[in-house]
Amino acid sequence: YGGLIIMISIVAPIHNEEENIYEFVERTASTMNRDFGKDWELLLVDDKSTDNSLSKIKGVSSKYECVHYFSHDTRSGQTGCFQTGFNKALGENVITIDSDLQVFPEDIPLLINRMQEGYELVNAIRNKRKHHPLIVISSKTYNVLMKIFFNCPVKDAASNYTAIKTEFVKNIKLVDNDHRYLIPIVQRRGLSKISEVEVRH
């Protein structure tokens, strides 16, 4: 796997998402083809799913020139999926997004348009969240702690829906639950121009 540098790499961790894969890929591809032509790639990283996710990933990736997949032999969580995606990404910008359709692939252009204003990282703020109130409260507590301990400058650090200049995550070493602290980690790597946009949930 490899090729010329492109504009956008989208990294989507997958674990037992067989019900969502086709819709997620089709909606993502439709959005990206419309707004960016062929200047993108979608990297599906299967984290040792125990359902039919991997076979569905193989099937749907064969339909789209810009969709590629990688599979883990052992579970490594979102952190491991991000690291695999970052290291394989060919894009100048990399976007992390969950494949469970809780956020809209159609909102990816919002992040990219803001990146094109000169930012190095654009984080998505999930607007009007549909989660159970306890999850929302837990997330708000997490964001407060991220602000206190890491001076994290974003409002929704737990969204996992983020656009980043690839140079700040290439060959990055992530362990355990480092995906939760990705923004402070890339800040320590020199990233400083950060913005946010609201997305649907």
pLDDT, tens only, 8-21 = 999 999 999 999 99
First to last CA, the chain: 33
- Supply angle C-alpha 87, 69, 4, rounded to 5: 55
Q: What amino acid is encoded at 98 in this protein?
A: D
DSSP 99: S
Cα torsion angle, 31, 17, 96, 44, sign: negative
Lowest mean pLDDT among 30-34, 44-48, 78-82, 183-187: 183-187
* pLDDT score of 185: 87
pLDDT, tens only, 179-191 = 777 888 899 899 9
The answer to whether the CB of 111 falls within 8 A of the CB of 163 is yes
The residue with greater pLDDT, 153 or 149, is 153
Give the CA dihedral 106, 108, 111, 116, nearest 10 degrees: -110
Contacts of 158 (CB under 8 A, 6+ apart): 139, 142, 143, 180
Q: What amino acid is encoded at 21 in this protein?
A: I
pLDDT, tens only, 157-181 = 666 899 999 999 999 988 887 777 7
Helices H, strands E: what count in the chain?
Answer: 6, 7
Could you tell me which of 166, 148, 146 has the C-alpha nearest to residue 157? Answer: 146
DSSP 166: G
Residue 145 predicted with pLDDT over 70: no
- How many Cα neighbours within 13 Å face the side chain of 106? 6
DSSP 179: G
Residue 106 predicted with pLDDT over 70: yes
Could you tell me which of 154, 193, 186 has the C-alpha nearest to residue 167? Answer: 186
